[in-house]
RNA sequence: CGAGCUGGCCGGACAGUCGCUGCGCAAGCGGAGGAAAGUCCGGGCUCCACAGGGCAGAGUGCCAGGUAACGCCUGGGCGGCGUGAGCCGACGGAAAGUGCAACAGAGAGCAGACCGCCGAUGGCCCUUCGGGCACAGGCAAGGGUGAAAGGGUGCGGUAAGAGCGCACCGCGCGUCCGGCAACGGUUCGCGGCACGGUAAACCCCACUCGGAGCAAGACCAAAUAGGGGAGCGAUGGCGUGGCCCGCGCUGCUCCCGGGUAGGUUGCUUGAGGUGCGUGGUGACGCGCAUCCCAGAUGAAUGGCUGUCCACGACAGAACCCGGCUUACAGGCCGGCUCGCACU
């Protein structure tokens, strides 16, 4: 573990993901909410010292598996590139129907804008006590 | 060259970089589809049920073969469409039984007489002994109705007609020949000739079928609550009761079983791919060699950049296979048919 992976500034291992139902429940229970065109972002501070990402892409919103996979990939990719600027928060991303019809470029731009908003929102009003 | 039929195949390419995932100590290697889809069939694999047989129910439905199996595939037969290559077909039984058929039409199932034809025979009228009338009655050829009207053509026959008789064609039954068979042929004989249609109407016949599904199932197993057993201490305490017996509850230690969260497994080597040979018209079988080709589980197989071109469709594995069906930008290869032109 120590040898190769440590250098990856943009790595995205399992420690950066939400894995258990309980962790999702915790975020849903009390979250800050930001909306984009393609997705809705829920955030709640954690105590791990780094942000984590969880995806909740429902079949109801995006009927085709291809669209769901595409959205997940874009969300992960943008999170991967910006995650070092985020404080220690658990994020859950909910899909919106428009994501199915947006082009790759549109999706990418929308998501990047959303993460930027998240960085600003978390920086100013609530300077997290712990970290 | 132009129209068309048909079998098979491909499903952007390459490079760099940042990531994800499986295996591996590492270096590294592998990482969505022809439909991964719909979940419509058939199997494998699991667990449950099960002596045998029958009934009910469901499915299949020309024949033969292939297959683990099929509702699939191949070959053949029959029917229909097309000049043709070819394509399409729930394609068993209506001389077991029951039922159904709107409208039209005279009549629709062991049928019928509206128009029509005839009127020999009987009747009536005239009587020049020829005939006339269409009353009884006869007919089913022609017209008309209908999806369908109880073989066709010709000759004979007759008052007019009619399988009424005959010839040929058609049909049915038996026989014979070819074929494993479906079926075909038509040698011979018989029958004057219906046994109309409908079985995705009931039904009959033949064959097939137990149920549930990987969230199947197996294993490990916190916390909390609770169950069973043994031992220890006390011979106690609390409740019931006036009291004794009895009954119930109660302490500590250890063991056992069930089992939730969570985890592990099932989970990818298979009715497998490729090549060669071989049997078969073919589906496919057999033999040898060779290869290992996704295995995730909040769920990987992607983002960005560059170059090129015909500027990229439908679409994303979730236990695994065999089919079917549906979606699909564009392109490649083979075979064949028809038309035109030319040698």
Pick from A117, A48, A129, A126: nearest CA to A88:
A48
Alpha carbon distance A46, A90 (integer Å): 6
Other Cβ atoms closer than 10 A to A62 = 21
Cβ of A55 < 7 Å from strand B? yes
Residue A40 and residue A59: Cα distance in Å, rounded?
15
Q: Is the CB of A56 under 7 A from strand B?
A: yes
Nearest nucleotide relative to A25: CA against C1': B298
ipTM, two decimals: 0.80
- Report the nucleotide nearest the CA of residue A78, measured to C1': B303
Q: Identify whether the C-beta of residue A98 lies closer than 8 Å to the C-beta of residue A131.
A: no
Domain boundaries, chain A: 30-122
Q: pLDDT of A23-71, one tens digit each?
A: 888 888 888 888 888 899 998 888 888 888 988 888 888 888 889 999 9
* pTM of the model as a whole: 0.76
Q: Which CATH number fits domain A30-122: 3.20.20.370, 3.30.230.10, 3.40.50.300, 2.60.40.10?
A: 3.30.230.10
């Amino acid at each position: 573990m120590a040898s190769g992976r440590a250098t990856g500034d943009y790595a995205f291992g399992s420690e950066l993901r939400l894995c258990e139902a309980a962790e999702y429940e915790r975020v849903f229970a009390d979250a800050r909410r930001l909306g984009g065109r393609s997705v809705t972002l829920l955030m709640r501070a954690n105590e791990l010292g780094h942000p984590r990402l969880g995806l909740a892409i429902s079949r109801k919103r995006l009927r085709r598996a291809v669209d769901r996979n595409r959205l997940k990939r874009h969300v992960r990719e943008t999170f991967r590139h910006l995650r070092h600027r985020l404080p220690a928060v658990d994020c859950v991303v909910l899909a919106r129907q428009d994501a199915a019809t947006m082009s790759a470029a549109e999706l990418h731009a929308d998501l990047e804008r959303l993460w930027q908003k998240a960085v600003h929102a978390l920086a100013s009003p609530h300077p997290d006590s712990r970290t």
